[in-house]
Amino acid sequence: MRRTLHLKLVLILVLLIVSLMVVVGAFLMNSVTGYYIQDFYSQIAAAFGQDNADFVRDLQTAREGETDGAAMVEAVLSTNEGVLGVDRRHRNFFVLDGATGRYLGGSAPEPEGGVAVTPNLSKALLGEKGFDSSVTADYMDAAIPITRGGQDYIIYLLDSRETARALNAEMFSLILEALALGLVISVLLSFLLAKTMVNPLQRLTDGIEQVARGDFSRKLEVSSSDEIGQLTESFNTMAQQLETNIAELEKAEQERKDFVANVSHELRTPLTNIRSYAETLDDGVGDLSPAMEKKFLGVILNESDRMAHILQDLLTLSRFDSGRSELRLTLFPFAQAVDDTYQAVLMDAQNHAHTVELHLPHRLPQVRADRERIMQVMMNIVSNAIKYTPDGGRIVLSAGQEGDKVWMEVDDNGIGIPDGDRDRIFERFYRVDKARSRQSGGTGLGLSIAQEIMRRHQGRLYLVDKAEPGLTIRMELPVAGPEEDSHEG
Ligand code: ADP
């Protein structure tokens, strides 16, 4: 890339300089010639003008007894060569016969074949002044008819334009020199330009290739604020975005794998139990006491209940994930739901000798939500408090309103959650103490379902920091309910 861009740069600069020189050269040379022609005619016109009346009179007035008028005219012209710019090399004057144009005299001998009849000379032969010259011709001339002593003459001035040509040639060689210098400068300049333009592009290309290989470690340095700088910046942003997306994808993929592994594991345990108890029953038909048989059957029923429970939870989650589960929004008093939860768990709490307190403010608003699901969340977090608090614990349920939200908090003085696990308990199948949770019938899916339900309601479910042992968990719910499309995605 570097080569071709550099070559293009050189080519552009060379073309630019050549075309500039051609235009400037043509313009200069043309105007030098134009100036030279104009100067010639204005000099002649001034010589024959009114300011030079003596000269004109000397030319036209014949002396008494004059025999050779042409010689006299030639003599007058000779003495006025300076006025006419005649140098006898590039510019000459001729005295011609006014009727035939025949050579009668001049500052130069008669040219071979006589003086050429130019358009100006033809005009003068008709009695008019000939004063024109084309820029492209290689000579310029002027022909002025005069009468002296009754005889017609033509004063003919011929300039070979040698001076203009010499000047142009000089200028041409100057332009060529400038061109050569310009070319050298443009090549040098192209290196500089290549350095400032091509190098950042090269770096960008290297960076893109690196990212294409999957290496996001290096950020490109933005060294300018121009388009290339902006491009580099956009590229950096894009690479970063890509890296984040890939990381998220990898995380999701890992979660999916873990989930499948977890589901298999969770279902295998009760299935193994059922199988081994059924086998024992089968092997010992007739040998086992009815009490033993009843106990084994009880375990089998329990384990199959557990499986059904897990499958039910998985189904719920899958409905949420696929967006097939609609919220059935109704208007109901939030305080009532909290109280119902309290009443529902009271028995269970008493069985574990827990004291349960309920703190409800006098007035709590009605909320627009799916009552059954909200109750499910409340039940889940209160049941957890009962489960994960050693018997004889203290559980406090409180609720309230904050702005356009209502909240419920469940606080216990149980085993709590180690700092390292706090972030993870909302993950599917995550349990701090698997044996303990399983023993109490937990699936490890309760809190992830609860959090999903709250998210659907545009509410929140989170752990509240507390210094004392135990756990405080809090749910928040917008009073007005979720906006219409909240369950999408
Ligand atoms: P489970 O069915 O195991 O109770 P959850 O999703 O409801 O599943 O809870 C996930 C894990 O969070 C539990 O296994 C437990 O380790 C922890 N946990 C939940 N609530 C409490 C609590 N009040 N005190 C201590 N640990 C808790």
| CA distance linking residue 189 with residue 203, whole number of Å | 21
CA of residue 384 to ligand 1 center, whole Å = 6
The pLDDT mean for the chain works out to 89
Q: Is 444 in the pocket of ligand 1 (CB under 6 A)?
A: yes
CA of residue 462 to ligand 1 center, whole Å = 13
Q: Is 442 in the pocket of ligand 1 (CB under 6 A)?
A: yes
Q: Whole-prediction pTM value? A: 0.57
The pLDDT value given to residue 487? 46
- Give residue for tokens 């000269």: 55
CA of residue 452 to ligand 1 center, whole Å = 16
Sequential DSSP letters for 87-130: -SSSEEEEEEETTT--EEEESSPPPTTSS---HHHHHHHTTS-B
Q: What residue owns the CA closest to ligand 1's atom 7?
A: 446
Q: Is 76 in the pocket of ligand 1 (CB under 6 A)?
A: no
> Which residues make beta-bridge pairs with 105?
95
pLDDT of residue 1 exceeding 60, the answer is no
Ligand 1 atom closest to the Cα of residue 410 is: 23
Weakest mean pLDDT among 15-19, 245-249, 441-445, 479-483: 441-445
CA of residue 425 to ligand 1 center, whole Å = 7
Closest CA to 215 of 246, 177, 190, 186: 246
Ligand 1 atom closest to the Cα of residue 437 is: 3
The pLDDT value given to residue 358? 97
Percent of the chain with pLDDT over 70: 97
What token pair was written down for 428? Answer: 């599917």
Convert the pLDDT of each residue in 73-119 to its tens digit.
Answer: 999 999 999 989 999 999 999 999 999 999 999 999 998 888 899 99
CA of residue 55 to ligand 1 center, whole Å = 128
What token pair was written down for 429? Answer: 């199948």
> Which residues make beta-bridge pairs with 97?
153
Q: What residue owns the CA closest to ligand 1's atom 8?
A: 444
pLDDT of residue 398 exceeding 50, the answer is yes
Residues 16, 17, 21: CA angle, nearest 5 degrees: 120
The pLDDT value given to residue 488? 43
Convert the pLDDT of each residue in 169-187 to its tens digit.
Answer: 999 999 999 999 988 988 8
Q: What is the dihedral of CA 28, 31, 36, 42, to 10 degrees?
A: -150
CA of residue 375 to ligand 1 center, whole Å = 17
Q: Locate all alpha helices (DSSP H) within 284-333, ordered by sequence.
A: 290-322
> Which residues make beta-bridge pairs with 471?
412
List of residues 6+ apart from 209 with CB closer than 8 A: none
CA of residue 288 to ligand 1 center, whole Å = 38
pLDDT of residue 301 exceeding 80, the answer is yes
At 2, the pLDDT band (50, 70, 90 cuts) reads: low
Name the phi and psi angles at 405, rounded to 5.
-125, 150
pLDDT of residue 489 exceeding 90, the answer is no
pLDDT of residue 486 exceeding 70, the answer is no
Contact by Cβ (8 Å): 478, 459: yes
| CA distance linking residue 293 with residue 296, whole number of Å | 5
CA of residue 303 to ligand 1 center, whole Å = 20
pLDDT of residue 122 exceeding 90, the answer is yes
The residue-averaged pLDDT of 217-226 equals 81
Q: Is 414 in the pocket of ligand 1 (CB under 6 A)?
A: yes
Q: Beta strands 103-106 and 91-97: pairing type?
A: antiparallel
Q: What residue owns the CA closest to ligand 1's atom 4?
A: 442
CA of residue 405 to ligand 1 center, whole Å = 25
Q: Is 393 in the pocket of ligand 1 (CB under 6 A)?
A: no
Q: Can you give the C-alpha Rg of the chain in angstroms? A: 56
Neighbour tally for 26: CB within 10 Å: 11
Ligand 1 atom closest to the Cα of residue 416 is: 25
Convert the pLDDT of each residue in 317-375 to its tens digit.
Answer: 888 888 887 889 999 999 999 999 999 999 999 999 999 999 999 899 999 999 999 99
Q: How does 383-406 read in b/e, with b if 16+ C-beta sit within 10 Å?
A: bbbbbbbeeebebbbbbebeeebb
Q: Is 425 in the pocket of ligand 1 (CB under 6 A)?
A: yes
Q: Beta strands 355-359 and 394-402: pairing type?
A: parallel
Percent of the chain with pLDDT over 90: 55
Contact by Cβ (8 Å): 259, 428: yes
Question: What sign has the CA pseudo-torsion 302, 303, 304, 310?
Answer: positive
Hey, what long-range contacts does 426-429 have (CB within 8 A, 24 or more apart)? 426/451, 426/461, 428/259, 428/262, 428/317, 429/258, 429/259, 429/262, 429/263, 429/266
Q: What residue owns the CA closest to ligand 1's atom 20?
A: 384
CA of residue 451 to ligand 1 center, whole Å = 13
Convert the pLDDT of each residue in 267-294 to its tens digit.
Answer: 998 899 999 999 998 888 778 888 989 9
> Which residues make beta-bridge pairs with 387?
none
CA of residue 388 to ligand 1 center, whole Å = 7
Q: Is 385 in the pocket of ligand 1 (CB under 6 A)?
A: yes
Q: Is 416 in the pocket of ligand 1 (CB under 6 A)?
A: yes
Ligand 1 atom closest to the Cα of residue 385 is: 23
pLDDT of residue 12 exceeding 70, the answer is yes
| CA distance linking residue 412 with residue 278, whole number of Å | 40
Contact by Cβ (8 Å): 376, 345: no
Closest CA to 317 of 262, 247, 246, 387: 262
Q: Can you tell me whether residue 451 is helix, strand or coil?
A: helix
Closest CA to 93 of 56, 144, 58, 50: 144
Q: How does 45-66 read in b/e, with b if 16+ C-beta sit within 10 Å?
A: eebbeeeeeebbebbeeeeeee
CA of residue 430 to ligand 1 center, whole Å = 8
Mutate-to-test residue for ligand 1 from 431, 440, 471, highest number of ligand atoms within 8 A of CB: 431
Closest CA to 120 of 147, 156, 77, 88: 156
pLDDT of residue 436 exceeding 80, the answer is no
Q: Is 437 in the pocket of ligand 1 (CB under 6 A)?
A: yes
What token pair was written down for 314? Answer: 């998985």
